Structure 1
Amino acid sequence: MTRFKGLQELFKRYRRPGDVVFAWVFLLFSVFLLTQLDTQSPWKQGGKIFSQPAFWPTVSIYLMVFFSALHLLSSVLSPRLHGRWGEVWQWVRTLEYAGWFMAYVLSVPVAGYLPCTVVFAVLLALRAGYRQLGTLAGAAVMGVVIVVAFKAFLQVKIPGGAVYEYLPTGLRAFMLTYF
């Protein structure tokens, strides 16, 4: 049987160096959502409070503000950890992949699903540090497999690229259907 060691031991937690930055960002985001409640979640005249469209969003956002304020308070009162900005830089670096995804999404309607998937698979393999020809060829083959699986077998409806309009009629129909 373990002995109770006090509240401080009970609520002890592992902290990351960027914890205080995350706490600030989350609190600011929560307060922003709180300022938007009146315009986004309507309160209807009459009716029970629990059936109001705005009740649960209001409860959740108020709790979000409360708990994010507690998180910030606990982070500020905790000993300072070194390496905060290195941790934050890691978070910012991950946004690069959101940029890759947006570039992919914007290029598919222009160049087509097959060419974009193959090109981006190879580019992301290069970005990840792979340089061997076999690995890059494997990424290209995987791109083709993904396209065939999604378009031919799963029949996911993805619009064809504008470049497909320049293909001969028979080939254009085949590419629009399967690639």
Structure 2
Amino acid sequence: MKLKTLAFWISLVLFGLFLALSVVYESTIYLYIASALPVLFVPLLPDFGSNQYIKPGKNRGQVEIIRTTSDSGASPLIMIRFYPGYVRWNKKWLYFSVSGISAYPMLAIPGDQTATLSALLHDLKAHPRKKGWIGIRLANLKQRTQNMSYTLQEINRLVIHVEDIQQVLTPGKGVSSPASKSTSIQA
């Protein structure tokens, strides 16, 4: 159990204890202590409102996650297609599950009017508790669109390299270049 979760439960139990003591002993001091304790545990509450989740099987008409395949050897991509306005850009993270994503050939994706935005490796992180879930930092994407010809509300497709997702999900196994031996160059 994380320290923050443990501290939350301890402070909640202390709140209940001091509240019960104030009733049993009819003491205002215990009541004052109990009323001050929420100041301590409110910062420990989880921040549910800062994330948006694309849940598998829900919002079928509004959002779709596709994995592209290619015979040309190009890197496969994950595309998140959605109606403009579906993504709440005021949130911190947009999470989606990588399991159960449909795979289509590159040419099978319809060519509708799109405003596409790429999510790069530094925009991604693994969900701290849910295995197989990836988060996209929306603030980075918002900043990237400031000099573009379209607005956030017009964007209807996010593109992510599968290699980046694999690197985020397996942090110790990412591509790393070994340190090269120093060589001297002679003229």
Q: Of the two, which has the highest radius of gyration?
A: 1
Name the TM-score, length of structure 2 as normaliser.
Answer: 0.21
- Higher share of residues assigned helix: 1
Name the TM-score, length of structure 1 as normaliser.
Answer: 0.21
